[in-house]
Amino acid sequence: MEFCPKCGTVMFPKGDCFQCSCGYQKKITEETLSKYEVSEKVAPKENVIVTGDNVKTLPTTKAICPKCQNRLAFWWLQQTRRADESETRFLRCTECGHTWREYD
């Protein structure tokens, strides 16, 4: 990762430069490429960005949906409180898409 010397945020490659949201740019050189061991360049049109709630690749578990009583739900864990507390388990109904949470 390349960090901006002006504001400290992560810079992302754009064209032949690393570009920061504050406007700072740094030219990508052969030394930079060897430093990060870039093995191949990928065209932006080949990048896949998945957004939205319709992704059906999460693991499933048996759980009763409080909205429609369906018995299958997608689940994932997310740290929503302090690091010394347990993660929150989120569940999303496979039928109606209702999302709820469970705490340990």
Respond yes or no: is residue 30 known to be catalytic: no
Pick the catalytic residue: 30, 53, 84, 104?
Answer: 84
Annotated binding residue 96: yes
Pick the catalytic residue: 85, 95, 102, 104?
Answer: 85
Please, how many CA atoms are within 13 Å of residue 98, restricted to the half-sphere of its CB? 13
Q: In the numeric block, which tokens belong to residue 65?
A: 């949906």
Respond yes or no: is residue 87 known to be catalytic: no
Annotated binding residue 4: yes
Distance (Å, whole) CA 72 – CA 54: 16
- Binding residue ranges for Zn(2+): 4, 7, 20, 22, 65, 68, 93, 96
- Annotated catalytic sites, by residue? 84-85
